[in-house]
């Protein structure tokens, strides 16, 4: 993870120099194997350098399983790993042993993780630091027997992705440990945690896995870090997780052609960074994203669901990215953990399906009709019969799905008919698919428009409850508070990078004088027209204030009416707009 910086770096800098001779090979340990992890496990990363108790935070949050970050050497060239490279935290029962016992007593377990961003940048990742494959393997075995764990995670990033000698040593050591475990009645898993793009692993991460295949090292889980893309693009982090995991699935299918689809999905892990990641606000993983990813991961049979990091699962620093101790968004403490925690289950994933509407939005004039495609797909197990219904149609709108039942993998048609009396506005229609395995939904946003009344505006009082035909910059919305009259008003969201403009275009008589009026509220609230005429006025108003803007249309009669605020001055509101 790229977040391991200040504390961990400080610990590494002050660590006592140790002999490079490394660790003496561990004993075989007890013959009985550690309890295997569940077939699906939620195991968020725990920042072990903070001095906090992992058992206490596990109990407080509800995260029964934890990925313990990180094990690394104290100095480059050493073969002895310590927690965070701190010689005061050796691999011994004195370091977290009591916590791990408590976690197990509460029905959970831990996954020790080697590496991390700091280790990968300082040459203290175990296989980068130690040039003796046997000592690397002995260090892994010592962790396994000391804590009696059944999985080791290897967080490989940055410089460690290009250290080909370290990659080869690490995979050779994995093979040695797997042979040792088989000879001693143990079942030990290894997971690789790797950076990803939105379409799968980059070539450097894929090369790590190819080397493992070449060394006959079994990699049980490939865990993607679905954050810190640093591509200067807009991101829907939940959607990007799905495309990234699908890309990884296709890559693994080529690496492991003998595996079934269920086995391939069952060897994938997903690690999010909750809230604002290191890049900034453009890469923000929200609580709503967490629900989407959770449902998708369950449907696909993903093996591991995780996030960086448990100590960040709180809203203590809204607007701040890349912190170790908070998410940077407004949220409740443990919101993300509570969504992901039910993922842990030993129950095999059965049949399941998905529902999607494409296109998922459309605009019609009142009195006309439209249609769109409803697609279903098998996401787990076998195809099953899916019953399709639609809800949410307002007065004057009839919506039906034909046929009303399909076999998962087939399509249907959503037919929508409006009457001339349908009130203009935007209405979400929900298509629900029901089957023996449960229900899934898709949404179609129907926008109904009307004919602009002579000399007037459509939805000038916002009483449809929807924006149409107004359009707004990001954050613009219909709100119930404050409202000048009726139940709703228009919000224009001015921010550091935008005025928040909301507008609609109307066609009036050409070369004719009119007056636009409206009630506004807020700092630097502007009301005006542009296009076929240009005129505006503004006010600073803590309460509702009426503004009037005289203007004369041009040859076309078309003008654009707008409400906006000013950069960095906050939201402004408008209501009861009219042209006379």
Q: CA-based angle 260:263:266, to the nearest 5?
A: 150
Return the pLDDT at 381.
Answer: 55
Specify whether the CB–CB gap between 175 and 206 falls below 8 A: no
Q: Which of 115, 108, 117 is nearest to 54 (CA)?
A: 108
Q: What one-character-per-residue DSSP string does 70-131 give?
A: EEEESSTT---EEETT-TTSBSSTTTTHHHHHHHHHTT-EEEEEEE-HHHHHHT-SHHHH--
Return the pLDDT at 141.
Answer: 97
Bridge partners (DSSP) of residue 197 are 200
Residue 55, sorted as left (phi over 0), alpha (psi -120 to 50) or beta, turns out to be alpha
Distance CA 330, CA 333 (A): 10
Cα torsion 386, 388, 391, 397 to 10°: value is 170
From first to last of its 580 residues, what are the pLDDT tens digits of the chain?
644 433 333 333 333 333 233 333 333 334 345 888 998 999 999 999 999 999 999 999 999 999 999 999 999 999 999 999 999 999 999 999 999 999 999 999 999 999 999 999 999 999 999 999 999 999 999 999 999 999 999 999 999 999 999 999 999 999 999 999 988 888 899 999 999 999 999 999 999 999 999 999 999 999 999 999 999 999 999 999 999 999 999 999 999 998 889 889 999 999 999 999 999 999 999 999 999 999 999 999 999 999 999 999 999 999 999 899 999 999 999 999 999 999 997 454 457 788 999 999 999 888 889 999 999 987 665 678 999 999 999 988 999 999 999 998 899 999 999 987 788 889 999 999 999 888 999 999 999 886 545 556 889 999 889 999 999 999 999 999 999 998 999 999 999 999 999 999 998 888 889 999 999 999 999 999 999 899 999 999 899 999 999 999 998 889 999 999 999 999 999 999 988 8
- Token look-up 């504390």 returns 7
Helix axes 237-255, 287-300, angle to 10 degrees: 30
Distance CA 29, CA 247 (A): 40
CATH architecture of 471-579: Sandwich (2.60)
Distance CA 549, CA 297 (A): 54
The β-bridge relationship of strands 385-391 and 425-435 is antiparallel
Which CATH number is associated with domain 352-449?
2.60.40.10
As given in the structure block, the two tokens for residue 285 are: 């993983």
Helix axes 97-105, 54-61, angle to 10 degrees: 30
As a 3-state breakdown, the chain gives helix, strand, coil percent values, each rounded to 5, of 25, 35, 40
Q: Which of 467, 518, 469 is nearest to 493 (CA)?
A: 467
The β-bridge relationship of strands 369-380 and 471-472 is unpaired
As given in the structure block, the two tokens for residue 268 are: 């994938």
**Residue-range domain boundaries for the chain:** 6-16+39-343, 352-449, 471-579
Q: Is 513 helix (H, G, I), strand (E, B) or coil?
A: strand
How many alpha carbons fall within 13 Å on the CB side of residue 193? Answer: 33
**310 phi and psi angles, rounded to 5 deg:** -55, -40
Return the pLDDT at 503.
Answer: 96
- Helix H or strand E segment including 166: helix 164-183
For 6-16+39-343, which CATH class?
A: alpha beta
Indicate if the alpha-carbon torsion angle 239, 242, 245, 251 is positive or negative: negative
């Amino acid at each position: 993870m790229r977040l391991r910086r200040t504390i961990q770096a400080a610990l590494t800098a002050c660590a006592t120099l140790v002999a490079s001779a490394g660790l003496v090979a561990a004993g075989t340990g007890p013959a009985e194997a550690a309890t295997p992890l569940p077939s699906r496990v939620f195991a968020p990363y725990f920042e072990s350098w903070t001095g906090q108790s992992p058992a206490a935070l596990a109990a407080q949050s509800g995260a029964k399983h934890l990925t313990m970050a990180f094990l690394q050497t104290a100095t480059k060239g050493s073969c002895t790993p310590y927690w965070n490279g701190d010689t005061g935290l050796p691999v011994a029962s004195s370091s977290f042993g009591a916590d791990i016992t408590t976690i197990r007593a509460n029905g959970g377990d831990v996954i020790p993780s080697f590496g991390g961003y700091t280790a990968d940048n300082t040459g203290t990742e175990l296989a980068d630091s130690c040039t003796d494959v046997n000592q690397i393997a002995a260090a892994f075995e010592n962790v396994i027997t000391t804590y009696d764990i059944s999985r080791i995670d290897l967080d490989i990033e940055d410089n460690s992705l290009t250290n080909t000698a370290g990659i080869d040593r690490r995979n050779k050591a994995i093979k040695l440990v797997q042979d040792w475990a088989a000879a001693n009645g143990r079942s030990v898993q290894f997971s690789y945690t790797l950076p990803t793009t939105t379409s799968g692993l980059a070539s450097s991460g894929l090369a790590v896995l190819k080397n493992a295949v070449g060394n006959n090292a079994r990699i049980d889980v490939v865990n993607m870090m679905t954050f810190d893309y640093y591509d200067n693009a807009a991101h829907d982090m939940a959607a990007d997780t799905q495309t990234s995991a699908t890309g990884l699935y296709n890559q693994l299918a080529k690496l492991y052609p003998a595996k079934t689809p269920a086995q391939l999905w069952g060897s994938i892990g997903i690690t999010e960074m909750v809230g604002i990641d290191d890049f900034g606000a453009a890469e923000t993983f929200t609580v709503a994203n967490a629900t989407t990813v959770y449902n998708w991961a369950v449907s696909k049979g993903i093996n591991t669901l995780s996030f960086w990091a448990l100590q960040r699962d709180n809203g203590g620093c809204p607007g701040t990215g890349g912190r170790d101790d908070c998410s940077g968004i407004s949220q409740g403490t443990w919101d993300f953990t509570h969504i992901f925690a039910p993922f842990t289950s030993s129950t095999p994933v059965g049949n399941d399906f998905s529902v999607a509407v494409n296109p998922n939005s459309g605009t019609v004039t009142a009195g006309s009709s439209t249609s769109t495609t409803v697609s279903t797909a098998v996401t787990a197990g076998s195809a099953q019969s899916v019953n399709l219904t639609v809800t949410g149609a307002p007065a004057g709108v009839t919506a039906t799905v034909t046929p009303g039942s399909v076999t998962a993998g087939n399509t249907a048609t959503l037919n929508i008919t409006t009457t001339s009396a349908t009130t203009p506005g935007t209405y979400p229609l929900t298509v629900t698919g029901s089957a023996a395995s449960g229900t899934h939904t898709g949404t179609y946003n129907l926008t109904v428009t009307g004919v602009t009344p002579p000399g007037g505006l459509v939805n000038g009082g916002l009483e449809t409850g929807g924006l149409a035909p107004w359009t707004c910059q990001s954050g613009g919305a219909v709100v119930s508070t404050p409202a000048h009259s009726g139940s709703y008003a228009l919000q224009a969201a001015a921010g550091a990078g935008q005025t928040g403009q909301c507008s609609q275009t109307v066609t009036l008589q050409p070369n004719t004088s009119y007056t636009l009026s409206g009630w506004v509220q807020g700092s630097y609230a502007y009301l005006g027209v542009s296009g076929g005429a240009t005129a505006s006025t503004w006010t600073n108003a803590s309460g509702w204030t009426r503004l009037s803007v005289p203007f004369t249309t041009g040859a076309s009669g078309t003008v654009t009416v707008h409400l906006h605020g000013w950069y960095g001055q906050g939201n402004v509101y408008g209501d009861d707009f009219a042209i006379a």
